[in-house]
Structure 1
Amino acid sequence: MTATVLTHLQRTLAESLAGAARRAGHLAQTNISLLEGSRTAHVLVTAPGGRRTVLQVSPLAARGEWIRAQTARLNQHDLDIVWFTTDTQDPPWLAKVPAVRVTAPVHPGGPWTAPAAVQQLKAEACTCGPAWRHGEHRTWAPPEPVTLPVLLDDLLARRLLHATTQTELPGRRFTSWAWGRDVRAEAEHLRGLAANAGALTDAAGTSIPSIPRRHLDGRLAVPLGRLLEAARLWGHQNTGVVCHIETATADWMAGGLVVTPSSRPTGRTVPAVTALVRPLPHKIAWNSPLSAVPVLVGSPEEYFTLRHTAPKNAQILIL
């Protein structure tokens, strides 16, 4: 059995987790050996109904492959696990398993805080432009901070669900913890979009939205501005080359905007068109070169509007 060596800060966190679980009405045991070859469970919580959850402080510089393997192994033995990290920034694996990044109390005796833990589903009017006509969107707000005792109470009571524990649906976008009612509402919304994709496509108009102008403070208009910045970053991550956005000129680009590399490194093959951003639904001919280029959109509503007429091999990604 492998023991986990914790720093003083991490030991304090484990003690806080155990105390918060007990105050919420659960049995909490510390430093429990569970499975051969697994690390000692820092806190094993048993709910009144018998469900067991491991609250584990992640090792420093933990690798994502190891974290995911340990999570899967415990799940196979009917044990839930939630990882807690004291890293100052989100580690790469944070959104891949049920996990929370926490910060220590500002004042001695104060609560630990999860600075970006819980997302809420919100409804907002569609501002995609006259070529889309979605009416209303469902969107996830950025994660909000919450104190550790409050988070743990809701988490252990199953009022909060993690994105990685949910059945994948096209268009699902929350990445952390969310209220069960919001998760169910989003699933219902996405299934409705999929069932009515033809109506979304038929409702798309023929007006061409203008390219967003910059505000006086230099920021692009939203939400298209947000999408363009996300598309530029996506292009950089997928090519390793800094990318920029250009106005599409070729007819096959269907009035979209183009992600292109800002430079063409010698000896490297980088596509001239990295991706196409939000092409107009009424102008798309999927038998053109469009089907070979990743298409980037900013919402599930846009995804299903395009997916309805797209071939199966078309790559449509929501950013």
Structure 2
Amino acid sequence: MTSPGGRRTVLQIPPLAARSQEIRERTAHAHQRGLDIVWFTPATHDPPWLTTVPAVRVTSPAQPGAPWTAPAAVQALTREACSCGPAWGHGAHRTWAPPQPAPLSVLLEDLLARRLVHTTVQTELPGRRFIAWARGQDVRAEAEHLRTLATTAGALTEAARSSTPYTPRPDGRSAAPLGRLLEAARHWGRQTTGEVCHIETPSANWMAGGLVVTPSRRPPGSTLPEVTAVVRPLPHKLAWNSALSTVPVLVGSPEEYFTLRRTAPQTAQILIL
């Protein structure tokens, strides 16, 4: 298809058994030829390549003549009160709302007009990015927010250190609502270890009060570490010269990331889920 401005976009429907490497290679080849490309897959299909290339999940009409839809397509950047808990106190977050449905015809119009940006487009600063498609103005606003956080990380860190401690619970029902982050941490642990993971309360001081992701089952002879990751350790308890510097640290927002990153060694792995 060709946009009014002359930009050509290839719309592709891959076989359900298509390999991730093949999809990525074909995407790169299209870009090298100066073409945009968008992959379409049924909403019931969750291929591993889905978030690595520009893609849309679609739902067929329930009745003849009804429009096709993309059930979870476009996200908007929103502002919400900080819910990280009293040990952080960030005030407010810029965060991405859950992907919203869109008629496929409207989505195609926006794609051809290049009004939407896909999650595979990276910015120069780390941060929790959208997981589907987003308006260009929202992507630029998030990038500006991340740049601001990077320059004010010192204030975030000091505020976190001087605030009231709290004790998180692995079920997420604590002073800080952890439900979404803990669910994401379990999913991350499953992808990382290949095993179902669960959340435990910390059993060692070096975990700095964070919750612990561990594999639920350790096969005989397994080389899996007992601790897969630490979720949201408390800033006022951190000791980066401990084992914490060798275990992935999982947090739920850019605000938390920059709070910890300022004092963390370069080798520390802090991931935003």
Residue equivalent to 2:123? 167
Structure 1 position 260 matched with structure 2 position 214: yes
Superposed CA offset, 1:39-90 (max 9, x none)? xxxxxx2222221111222233222111111111111111111111235222
> Do the aligned partners of residues 150 and 234 (structure 1) sit closer, same or farther apart at CA in structure 2, a change above 3 Å counting?
same
Residue equivalent to 1:6? none
Structure 1 position 151 matched with structure 2 position 107: yes
1:210 to 131, 142, 167: 167
> Do the aligned partners of residues 72 and 317 (structure 1) sit closer, same or farther apart at CA in structure 2, a change above 3 Å counting?
same
Instruction: Pick which of 276-285 and 255-264 moved more.
Output: 255-264
> Do the aligned partners of residues 56 and 174 (structure 1) sit closer, same or farther apart at CA in structure 2, a change above 3 Å counting?
same
Superposed CA offset, 1:180-229 (max 9, x none)? 11111111111111111111101113422233486xxxx84673122122
Instruction: Pick which of 235-244 and 48-57 moved more.
Output: 235-244
Structure 1 position 176 matched with structure 2 position 159: no
Distance 1:139 1:184 in 2: 13
Q: Which has the higher contact order (CA 8 A, sep 6+)?
A: 2
2:199 to 245, 266, 285: 245
> Do the aligned partners of residues 240 and 62 (structure 1) sit closer, same or farther apart at CA in structure 2, a change above 3 Å counting?
closer
| Unaligned segments of structure 2, at least 5 residues | none
The offset of 1:315, in angstroms, is 0.6
> Do the aligned partners of residues 272 and 165 (structure 1) sit closer, same or farther apart at CA in structure 2, a change above 3 Å counting?
closer
Distance 1:162 1:49 in 2: 20
One-letter amino acid of the counterpart of residue 65, structure 1: Q
The offset of 1:168, in angstroms, is 5.1
SS of alignment partner, residue 115 of structure 1: strand
> Do the aligned partners of residues 81 and 256 (structure 1) sit closer, same or farther apart at CA in structure 2, a change above 3 Å counting?
same
1:140 to 92, 96, 108: 96
Larger radius of gyration between Structure 1 and Structure 2: 1
> Do the aligned partners of residues 242 and 70 (structure 1) sit closer, same or farther apart at CA in structure 2, a change above 3 Å counting?
closer
Within-5 A mapping of 1:1-319: 45-86=1-42, 88-167=44-123, 169-204=125-160, 205-212=162-169, 220=173, 223-319=177-273
Distance 2:216 2:60 in 1: 42
Superposed CA offset, 1:250-270 (max 9, x none)? 222212122223343221122
The offset of 1:158, in angstroms, is 1.5
Q: TM-score, normalised by structure 2?
A: 0.92
The offset of 1:116, in angstroms, is 0.8
Distance 2:20 2:182 in 1: 29
One-letter amino acid of the counterpart of residue 192, structure 2: N
SS of alignment partner, residue 27 of structure 2: helix
Runs of 4+ in 1 over 6 A off after TM superposition: none
Distance 1:252 1:296 in 2: 15
Alignment RMSD: 1.9
% identity of equivalent residues? 71
